[in-house]
Structure 1
Amino acid sequence: MLRSLRVRLLLGAAIAIFLALAAAWVAMTVLFERHVEHRIEADLIRDGLQLAAALSVAPDGTPVLEHEPGDSRFFDPASGLYWQVSTPQGVLNSRSLWDQHLPEPKNVTSLEWQNRILAGPFNQQVLLVERFIRPVRANTDVLIQLAHEQRSLHEAREEFGEELALFLAILWLILSAAAWAQVELGLRPLRHVRNEVETLKRNPRERMTAVHATEIEPLTRAINELADAREKDLSRARRRAADLAHGLKTPLAALAAQSRRAREAGAREAADGLDQAISAATSAIEGELARSRAAAIRAAPSGNTTIAQPLIESLVGVVEKTEFGARLVFEVNVAEDLRLPVAGEDLLEIAGALIENAARYARRRVRVTGQAIAGGALVVEDDGPGIESEKVAEVLMRGGRLDEAGSGHGLGLAIANDLVDATRGALTLLRSELGGLKVTVAWPATDLSASR
């Protein structure tokens, strides 16, 4: 799965977004807590200023308040909100403190309010603000302290964190979906490249278009250059192989003539040896020429179709005049309007190889059938010895001698298989109802065949 570029990008984006949102959750939770603390501190300082405004000192040095802050929590015992004013001679505190006291001051001045978090009354963690104030016409400083319990702050932070986590989880899903869309859009040019490579595989003469994203243009240019070099190398190799094969035909014909003279002169063993060598060399040449023809078919543009019946009839007429075809009955069941997705010369070679092969090994009957399924199919059957099922792979081996497969069929099937493969078809071998071999060639549906 990790070999998929799409999965890698999506997984990386999902993890990166998750980590970013997790960091945002931590930071926003901390910021929320600090914001609430600052708000509480500001409220406590406001109440402290109200206390300072109403504060005076009695002649005996005890603090006196004209009125208390109006927050109702100051009047409920252990409510979590407390105030206390004190001098060395006396202490006043809110009803909420009941019989408790706020902690002793620490590093407190009269210049500004100080704040700290510590253990407070009723075993509560509190935020404490404190400051020394000297009222008008007083000779002593008064300590003003106000405290707010921290438990409600922690609860608010937890509730905020839960709601924020839910929101960020939904946001993660939305951003992951956006990342998926971005990855799909980013990989779409590669899908076009893949489709063009498939076209290039079907037709080596095709080339990839240059209209691609800037980042992909070097890749398409390199593929086109590689295809050009490959086509040139294959073309040179095919020409050399074809030239060599054609060049050997004349010496082989001369050797055949020498074999006939040797046989007429009574040297039958030498003639038989020459005939076997000539036959092997001829088969190799025919196979090489067939492969050259198959390579040329692959390189040619596809899309041609051929009406099958007249071509099949003409082939049967030719084979009937041969020595091995004259003794057979040929049955042709091909519709007049059947079109096969193959060029005429290619169908001539494929059907010719199959019909000739069937005629060579049939006992009395050969049947040729055309079928309008998918892109079209051609079936050639005979009542000969057939081929054992375990020998089929060996029979269709490229470059093999099929008469060595054990059932008598010759080189024609291997040549036909190469040509069928070059025309994007598939060749299968089965047992025929006639008792011999059934060869089926089927082509996939194409735009042209589908429109008929």
Structure 2
Amino acid sequence: MTRGSLRLRLIAGAGVAIALALVLAWFAMTWLFNGHIERRVEDELLVQVRPLLADLQLARGVPVAGSEPADPRFAVPAGGLYWQVSGAEGAIRSVSLWDSHLPRPKAAPSDEWRVRRADGPFGQRLLLMERAIRLQPREPAVIVQLGYDLAKLVPAQREFGREMALFLALLWMVLALAAWAQVGLGLRPLRGVGQDVERLRRDASARLGDGYPRELAPLTGSIDALADAREADLVRARRRAADLAHGLKTPLAALAAQSARARESGALQIADGLDSSIAAMRAAIDGELARTRISLVHEGRSTVALPLIERLVAVIEQTEAGERIAFSIACDESATLPLASDDAAELLGPLLENAARHARRLVRVAIDTMADRRVLTVGDDGPGLDTVQRDEAILRGARLDSAQEGYGLGLAIARELAEATRGELELARSPLGGLEVRVRWPLSD
């Protein structure tokens, strides 16, 4: 799942990193807590041993205790709290040791208490504190040992570990949510880049600009440079196509003159062949110019449809085909087409001309909004096309190279203009009886 999403990869990485850090924190905190409670035990043992040390004496090398620690655990056999004093001739111990003894070291420091762990009586693991103490200046030192059963600390350590684990789990959730919010804020500029790139796709003159964080500046700068290069290439291509079309006008005019002279001389078959070739070349040139024009169509623009339709109809009505038919326009005054004015005229013009040329009495133009689409419909009451012919017309339009009489080139121009603005062109039978051309565009998001 995370392969296709940078957001999920960042969030997953942050979640794993936070989890590892919190696990390490759990180990560190439990280790610190264990050290803390052991130091508390050491302090407690030192407090307990003071009465014993205050009245401790040696009698013929054997320690004698004047008073004992007050903690009752010293009086309970295997109670977990022990003391032992060892001299050269013998040793005394707490009742809690019963008939056992603490492991006596060979030597003990005299300037401080030494703390170590050792196996004690009754199968217990003990925390031992031991020190060599000289009771009188000329007497031999005795070794004082204090023992604490480490098993007594296990419940507190486990409870702390559980509570700390629960706390760190909750902390992980909070930090994961914070990481999710941080990733969202960090990636928000990329969403803006996506929106601006979409705007750039619709309008070649648009640019991303400098309104992005420094980290995105190389990306946005490269995109703008690519857009500049693309626009320059399109302009050069359009100029070359226009130059080619103008350059071919003179040869075509010469060929037309040759055809006229051949026809005057009675070579009708040769003249017809020349006229057919000239028509094919002109259709190819017109198609190529239309393709170049379409490549520069910009999305994101719109034109109020009704004035444009009325203007085109007024022009067509002045032609021989337009004089004999009537036009029906069904369009709201506020209806728009998602093209610039010139592009809309280039799309509507061929459709209206084709319909007027093939209609008997009526051409109907309508613009409607259906569900999430805007629909332009141009239909006529002419002979129309059957299903096979409509499919062939679409195929010819896809090539933009048909020189045949009929709908081909006009439909080709309209189709490519529609597709250049995310629309689609469909041919159907008109309710009037002839051909109906429908162009659908998705409504703006």
TM-score by length of 2: 0.87
Mind listing any 5+ residue stretches in structure 2 that lack a counterpart? none
* Equivalent residue, structure 1, for 2:328: 332
d(CA) in 2 for partners of 1:316, 1:372: 26
* Equivalent residue, structure 1, for 2:376: 378
* Equivalent residue, structure 2, for 1:348: 345
> Which one of 423, 437, 440 corresponds to residue 439 of structure 1?
437
* Equivalent residue, structure 1, for 2:424: 426
Q: Is the Cα–Cα contact under 8 Å of residues 280 and 403 in structure 2 kept in the other structure?
A: no
**Could you tell me which amino acid in structure 1 is paired with residue 46 of structure 2?**
I
* Equivalent residue, structure 2, for 1:282: 282
Deviations 1:2-33 (A, max 9, x none): 24332232222222222222222222222222
Residues 44 and 402 of structure 1: CA distance in aligned 2, closer, same or farther (over 3 Å)? farther
Residues 398 and 50 of structure 1: CA distance in aligned 2, closer, same or farther (over 3 Å)? farther
Q: Is the Cα–Cα contact under 8 Å of residues 85 and 91 in structure 2 kept in the other structure?
A: yes
Deviations 1:239-261 (A, max 9, x none): 11012113323432332343244
Q: Which range moves more in the overlay, 280-289 or 7-16? A: 7-16
**Could you tell me which amino acid in structure 2 is paired with residue 394 of structure 1?**
L
Percent identical residues: 49
* Equivalent residue, structure 2, for 1:450: none
Tell me, yes or no, if structure 1 residue 188 matches structure 2 residue 174: no
Aligned-residue offset at 1:120: 0.7
* Equivalent residue, structure 2, for 1:175: 175
d(CA) in 2 for partners of 1:392, 1:180: 54
**Could you tell me which amino acid in structure 1 is paired with residue 49 of structure 2?**
G
Aligned-residue offset at 1:296: 4.3
What is the count of residue pairs matched by the alignment? 438
Aligned-residue offset at 1:281: 0.7
Mind listing any 5+ residue stretches in structure 1 that lack a counterpart? 448-452
Residues 128 and 358 of structure 1: CA distance in aligned 2, closer, same or farther (over 3 Å)? same
Deviations 1:171-222 (A, max 9, x none): 1221222222222222222222222222221111122222222222233233
Residues 339 and 109 of structure 1: CA distance in aligned 2, closer, same or farther (over 3 Å)? closer
d(CA) in 2 for partners of 1:248, 1:386: 36
d(CA) in 2 for partners of 1:76, 1:395: 107
Residues 402 and 379 of structure 1: CA distance in aligned 2, closer, same or farther (over 3 Å)? farther
Aligned-residue offset at 1:359: 4.4
SS in 2 for 1:2: helix
* Equivalent residue, structure 1, for 2:131: 131
* Equivalent residue, structure 1, for 2:410: 412
Deviations 1:286-312 (A, max 9, x none): 11221233244429x824424255235
Q: Is the Cα–Cα contact under 8 Å of residues 353 and 412 in structure 1 kept in the other structure?
A: yes
Deviations 1:227-279 (A, max 9, x none): 22322222122011012113323432332343244234332332232222112
Aligned-residue offset at 1:332: 1.6
Q: Is the Cα–Cα contact under 8 Å of residues 294 and 417 in structure 2 kept in the other structure?
A: yes
SS in 1 for 2:317: helix
* Equivalent residue, structure 1, for 2:224: 224
Tell me, yes or no, if structure 1 residue 25 matches structure 2 residue 20: no
Aligned-residue offset at 1:338: 4.9
**Could you tell me which amino acid in structure 2 is paired with residue 101 of structure 1?**
H
d(CA) in 2 for partners of 1:174, 1:2: 25
Aligned-residue offset at 1:284: 0.8
Q: Is the Cα–Cα contact under 8 Å of residues 402 and 414 in structure 1 kept in the other structure?
A: no
SS in 1 for 2:108: coil
* Equivalent residue, structure 2, for 1:9: 10
TM-score by length of 1: 0.86
* Equivalent residue, structure 2, for 1:91: 91
Deviations 1:44-67 (A, max 9, x none): 233334321121123x44322222
Residues 122 and 333 of structure 1: CA distance in aligned 2, closer, same or farther (over 3 Å)? same
Aligned-residue offset at 1:344: 4.0
Tell me, yes or no, if structure 1 residue 57 matches structure 2 residue 22: no
d(CA) in 1 for partners of 2:86, 2:374: 107
Residues 108 and 88 of structure 1: CA distance in aligned 2, closer, same or farther (over 3 Å)? same
Aligned-residue offset at 1:436: 4.8
Aligned-residue offset at 1:431: 4.2
Aligned-residue offset at 1:131: 2.0
d(CA) in 1 for partners of 2:156, 2:304: 78
**Could you tell me which amino acid in structure 2 is paired with residue 33 of structure 1?**
N
d(CA) in 1 for partners of 2:396, 2:174: 59
Aligned-residue offset at 1:127: 0.9
Q: Is the Cα–Cα contact under 8 Å of residues 397 and 415 in structure 2 kept in the other structure?
A: yes
**Could you tell me which amino acid in structure 2 is paired with residue 252 of structure 1?**
L
* Equivalent residue, structure 2, for 1:153: 153
Q: How does 1:231-242 map to 2 (within 5 A)?
A: 231-242=231-242
Q: Which range moves more in the overlay, 385-394 or 352-361? A: 385-394
SS in 2 for 1:380: strand
d(CA) in 1 for partners of 2:393, 2:151: 84
SS in 2 for 1:67: coil
d(CA) in 2 for partners of 1:282, 1:208: 40
d(CA) in 2 for partners of 1:311, 1:190: 44
Q: Which range moves more in the overlay, 339-348 or 155-164? A: 339-348
d(CA) in 1 for partners of 2:165, 2:244: 77
Tell me, yes or no, if structure 1 residue 67 matches structure 2 residue 67: yes
SS in 1 for 2:398: coil
Q: How does 1:263-278 map to 2 (within 5 A)?
A: 263-278=263-278
d(CA) in 2 for partners of 1:163, 1:390: 74
Q: Which range moves more in the overlay, 359-368 or 431-440? A: 359-368
* Equivalent residue, structure 1, for 2:306: 307
Deviations 1:373-408 (A, max 9, x none): 56743202344124437657634415343859xxx6
SS in 2 for 1:216: helix
d(CA) in 1 for partners of 2:55, 2:192: 82
d(CA) in 2 for partners of 1:252, 1:168: 85
d(CA) in 2 for partners of 1:400, 1:155: 89
Q: Which range moves more in the overlay, 364-373 or 37-46? A: 364-373
